[in-house]
Structure 1
Amino acid sequence: MRKLIAAINTTLDGICDHTAGIPDEEIHQHYTELLRQGDAILYGRTTYELMEFWRTLLENPSEEKSMNDFAKAIDQIPKIVFSRTLKNVDWESATIAKGDLKGTVLELKQQSGKDIFVGSPSLIIQLMKLNLIDEYQFCVHPVVAGSGLPLFENINDRTILKLIKTKTFSSGAVTLNYEPTNKKTTNS
């Protein structure tokens, strides 16, 4: 059974706006290596459309090798997009999910192969509520954004996580890997 890993950048105040972090060469390398360890990544429409930026670096490479390497890795990993509005995608390695989120993820997890990643805040919340995430990887940037999209918006249940691994970057960013303990309590 494959693991479903929620991997996302966030700020100290829990904002997951892609412009709020401080991506650098080391963080790009980290995510390049992570993507190479997976068989698929799940996106919602908004995050998928943001990630299409990386396609431009395939045609017009950056002067920064780590960004070009990430662009190649994100291009190569199959992307499954969950959207009610997109009818098709033109990124060769992307497809629109044919089924519902729960059924598709359960089917993917049952297959043999490498890990599956989810990188969209909205999907992380939905999958968290369905208790389908096996591991969380938060890359916490040393920034207080002050405003933006909070990662854990609309969560009503208290979820307890167990820290399993950390990694510190020279920028001060830290990845925190957690496993859910499957203990949930309802907040009143």
Structure 2
Amino acid sequence: MRTVTFAMNISLDGYCDHTIFNPTEELMDYYTALMDDVDLLFYGRVMYQLMFPYWADVARDKSGTPGENRFAERLTAIDRIVVSRSLQSADEKARIVRKDPAGELLKLKQLPGERISVDSVIMLPELITANLIDEFYFVVHPVIMGNGRHLLDVGSLQQKLNLKLIDTRHFDSGSVAIHLQQ
């Protein structure tokens, strides 16, 4: 069975707005390395539209820093599933799924392949409840935002999720990566 991972940047007070954080080259290399054995991305519409076409343009034009260019090349090479009821079209490496994200992810998890990387805060409670996320990677940034999108809304989980700490990594920026497993 394939391993399903969830990775997210997060502030000290639990906010996860990707547009707020400015990753260093060191963090870009960390996220690129997380993609080394990923062969499928499983995104919600919002994250898909945030990540693509932005990173596709960076990969094509080599318009980022060296770390951003490496990340863009790796990310855009991976096939992707986009869960959306409203998205009309997606790029050539993406397939749109209209319903039952947990059921779809369960089917994909049982197919041969490498890791599946999930990136959707909206679907996270449903996927956790269905016991589909095997590993979590959080990069905690040394910032208190005070507003934005929380990782989980109050009451979005039926019961607490106990995780096992596997590894931590400290970055020169003051950010800390935390790797956890169920």
**How far is the alpha carbon of 1:14 from its aligned partner?**
0.8
**How far is the alpha carbon of 1:36 from its aligned partner?**
2.2
Please show how residues 1-188 of structure 1 align to structure 2 within 5 Å: 1-52=1-52, 53-89=54-90, 91-97=91-97, 100-153=100-153, 154-180=156-182
Deviation string 1:128-171 (CA, Å, 9 cap, x unpaired) is: 12221111111111111110000011334222111111111111
Equivalent in the alignment of 1:185: none
| Local SS of the residue matching 1:131 | coil
Counterpart code for 1:10: I
Equivalent residue pairs, number: 179
**Quick one: structure 1 residues 63 and 157, their matched pair in 2 at CA, closer, same or farther if it must change by over 3 Å?**
closer
Counterpart code for 1:75: T
Q: TM-score w.r.t. structure 1 length?
A: 0.89
> Which consecutive residues of structure 1, in runs of 5 or more, have no partner in the other structure?
181-188
CA RMSD between the two structures: 1.5
Conservation of the 8 A alpha-carbon contact between 1:8 and 1:120: no
Conservation of the 8 A alpha-carbon contact between 2:85 and 2:99: no
Conservation of the 8 A alpha-carbon contact between 1:20 and 1:143: no
Counterpart code for 1:96: I
**Quick one: structure 1 residues 63 and 54, their matched pair in 2 at CA, closer, same or farther if it must change by over 3 Å?**
closer
The percent of aligned pairs where both chains have the same amino acid is 40
Deviation string 1:58-86 (CA, Å, 9 cap, x unpaired) is: 33322511111111111101111000101
> Which consecutive residues of structure 2, in runs of 5 or more, have no partner in the other structure?
none
Q: TM-score w.r.t. structure 2 length?
A: 0.92
